[in-house]
Structure 1
Amino acid sequence: MNGNGSSRLEGAVVAVAGAAGPAGRAALLRLAEAGATVVASDADTERLAEAVDAARYAHGGATVTGDTVNLLDLDATRAWAEQTEKEFGRIDGLVHLVGGWRGSATFAETELADWQFLEKLLIRTVQHTSLAFHEPLKRSDRGRFVLVSQSGATKPTEGNAAYAAAKAAAEAWTLALADSFRKAGGEEGPKAAAVILVLKALVHDAMRAERPNAKFAGFTDVTELAEAIAGVWDRPAGEANGQRLWLTPKP
């Protein structure tokens, strides 16, 4: 934030992939509050419409739109990026919030079907969004690609082999994108940045209501995550690019 309370998100155009869940809803609200034009996508049309309406209602005058996009289809993802840039004239961010979890009690009980499921959700969607938004983000004067990852990618537990491996692959892919931004910036340094936000797990009000006695130790509230996402734009690209920003203690 600068002195008058505005941020570099004022007037920015930010796409949010996987916007219909609790983390997506919180991100839409926070980005709209900061003055961004928010372009949300999700595979669930009904929940997406609810999330978009909530953000619009909370911030009268904010431009928040929703598109049902199949992020497992590269052509569809590219079409979404192209349409967004054509309609709004620029793209300053892609926030990746597509999530999912499958796991087992022990390593020996790992189901490889879980890997096939998670590879699509947690890796393929990162590949497709990064490839589709790469050039528009490079053209921006404040382009940011934000991946939300999990501490297990650094220190996997036996029952989370598929999940942790998928998250680690998504991180590696994002760091390769960061290297592209670094090279494109030359001696002046990158204008765009790819950033990884690392957390243990997310918690939101509905979870607390369901389990009033649970401590949720080390969990990150979705509103805290949304704040961290918005804060990525306040960091200079050269400082943020290729960084893992920890929202939980490192394991």
Structure 2
Amino acid sequence: MSSLDSKVIAVAGASGPAGQATVRRLAADGATVVAADIDQQRLDALVDRVRSSVPGAKITGQVIDLLDPQEVHDWADHLEAEHGHVDGLLHLVGGWRGSKTFHDSRLDDWDFLHDTVVRTLQHTSLAFQPALLRSPAGRYAMIGAAAAHKPTAGGAAYAAAKAATEAWTLAMANSFLKETTDADGAPTAAAVILVIKALVSPEMRAEKPEAKFAGFTDTADLADHLAALWDRPAAELNGQHLWLTAR
């Protein structure tokens, strides 16, 4: 039996390259997957592809505006009421803006990233934290960035946004440590940061077969690492940076 059997896992940003690979992997391992995206057409296409490629896949799609905090809270409450438990929220919402030099940095890039990267993560973490506390194996995962640990001159807005989301996630991890300990004092839920340089999908490799994509993480490898979060005790994972690229 897979460690994901009977698990109910929500994936935010499901129609992106990382989300597609992750949803497919989770469904193949037997999880009940709730794929969320703001675009109905992309979401329907994803659900259809997964059902075609994974016989018996337990997957549904949910259109959600992650910038609407009440909508996200209602979604989390509905999932727990419907399934009896929610065991994971994988936050795979991305976005990038940058400039050639530090002086050329645009504050409207920061505004965009603040909403797309920071606000969406704040909303999913706050909405799902109570349900993950109640799960015997709650997991919250986000995709961090090597750039947050070593910012470049032209990537100030992106690095700052990713650093903010990592700090927020570490605060969530601390809440799990304080509020979900078992009889041995270990947390039963975990918030984890998977750190990458950038992602590369099969489509990107096909478009540029000569490119090396040095240090990039394949979306399939990311999906494997996310699925494996339920193979390890929460105490080993909570508050950790799992580096999938060179430090």
The normalised TM-score by structure 1 is 0.96
Tell me the residue number matched to 2:209. Answer: 212
One of 122, 127, 137 as aligned partner of 1:132: 127
Cα distance in 2 for partners of 1:75, 1:95 equals 19
Structural mapping, 1:54-93, within 5 Å: 54-93=49-88
Consecutive unaligned residues in structure 1, runs of 5 or more: 1-5
Whether 1:191 and 2:204 are equivalent positions in the alignment is no
**Aligned equivalents of 2:14, 2:206: Cα separation in 1:** 22
Matched, 1:157 2:123: no
State the alpha-carbon separation in 2 of the partners of residues 24 and 219 from structure 1. Answer: 16
Unaligned runs of 5+ in 2: none
Q: Show the 5 A alignment for 1:239-250.
A: 239-250=236-247
**Residue in 2 that maps onto 1:201:** 198
Q: Is 1:119 aligned to 2:114, yes or no?
A: yes
Give deviations 1:120-167, integer Å, cap 9, x for gaps: 111101100001000100000100000111100100111110000000
The TM-score, its normalising length taken from structure 2, stands at: 0.97
The aligned amino acid for 1:231 is A
Q: Aligned pair 1:99/2:94, yes or no?
A: yes
Equivalent-residue separation in structure 2 for 1:106 and 1:175 (angstroms): 30
Q: Which deviates more from structure 2 when the two are superposed, residues 166-175 or residues 58-67?
A: 58-67
3-state SS of paired residue (1:188): coil
Q: Percent identical across equivalent pairs?
A: 57
Structure 2 residue identity aligned to 1:249: A
Number of matched pairs: 245
Cα distance in 1 between the residues matched to 2:50 and 2:141? 20
Contact 1:220 1:247 in 2 (8 A): yes
Partners of 1:175 and 1:55 in 2: how far apart?
32
Distance in 1 between residues matched to 2:12 and 2:175, nearest whole Å: 21
Map 1:14-53 → 2, pairs under 5 A: 14-53=9-48
The whole-number CA distance in structure 2 between the counterparts of 1:210 and 1:26 is: 18
SS of residue matched to 2:86: coil
Distance (Å, rounded) in 1 between the aligned partners of 2:44 and 2:95: 20
Deviations 1:172-211 (A, max 9, x none): 0000000000001345211000000000100011111221
Q: What amino acid maps onto 2:234 in structure 1?
A: A
Q: Deviation of residue 8 (structure 1)?
A: 2.0
Note the aligned Cα RMSD (angstroms). 0.9
Q: In 2, are the aligned partners of 1:178 and 1:194 still within 8 Å (CA)?
A: yes
